[in-house]
Structure 1
């Protein structure tokens, strides 16, 4: 079995007996030098940059692992011994008589060396597989998974997403509590509480569809001591929120900002006062 890769050569180091004598510090130094040279960020036009860098990392992992390096050194030694044996056999073959050549053909002197080489190769491949698995488990999620999450976010219908805000103090709105409040209007797919800004907390609530999201506008109030302000992530026309009869008052406002935003807050306060009176 031929050696697939000379890990010393990949790091730019001498192989065979000289390689086996190299210290760990010399191997580390060689890897750092090669890593700077082959890093994909420095070779943006090289389509094989990532593969070459991964090959360098694999060779380094083999050589810095004591057990794997010893197996690889033994494999190189077995390879050298086999070549020396072949050279010696070729030299003798030219001098031997025809009957001696016949006996050599009947008994393969390389059989034992070949079996030993194959055994060491299998062990080395097992160690490389173990190292790669260990390295893969330590790596973060792949870029493909990140891209998939980005695609899902881009394809999400913003009409079913609600922006919810409340004061930082005065009420304890957790993910579980917000989910329970909004589930009265339909299935809630996700709730994400964002970091507070200017003494206010906010969250994004993703409903199952745009109809369920629209049903919450003006109807989800929360605690009387700390009411919830619920707005669509994708602004709707004022008539969709306040009713057709109030459309004329807000025809100049395309988004829930400025006067329209304050009017919505007034509408929420009116509902809170009405709810408070009904409880008395």
Structure 2
């Protein structure tokens, strides 16, 4: 969203002389509280500016509860009136992924205890749960009918990386751009370099880090084709990942970051004590801050 507000942030005074006011009046007014689509989710927002661009109404919205860096220009097709009926639609949309997942995987899968980070990811459990690179108030923790917010692992993604997620979504889904593959460094190389760094710094204490990184690699390889790719990236995946090739040896930081958004949903099925989970959260955050910096991400191409 950060890019969209810059790329499309011309004021009404900058509109071209050819922009003719449409016959219909604006559906939304400045200061109005609305519901706005971003990806497949709906968020509460406030209209800050309205203008006509290319004979269509455009609205500059601020997402309530979010930093102004998320503000963006949107069309009428992205907005809905803030009514009780539409709020119910918002809640139903949030619930849909959870219901689909439970129908496909069954409740029995949720009861299976898994002893380590490198436990197998149940592909049926995560099928059709593709992320959109969008912001979410609770990182999908508010989904009803699946797991409670309290049970989710909280992974604090730094603000710069949240912006990268949104830019990533816009490049792929809105601008038809793709990451050039194979990437350098690959996910495997990023994880290896971090392990070398921690081993040199912490010595024997890096053993636990090695197990965690092994688990991350396992989760990435198994979940990439089923929940980390956008629709427009699937053809590319089928072309570059063949036979027994591991995605972690081809993809890079962009797709690895998407995994961290989905990890809370995956780790909820892992049987880990609270104290161990707390240490795990800190180590995952250390990895994000040390290895997934803005410079780690590539430019996109058509």
- Structure number with the bigger relative contact order (C-alpha 8 A, sep ≥ 6) is 2
TM-score (norm 1): 0.21
Which structure has the larger Rg over C-alpha atoms? 1
Higher helix share: 1
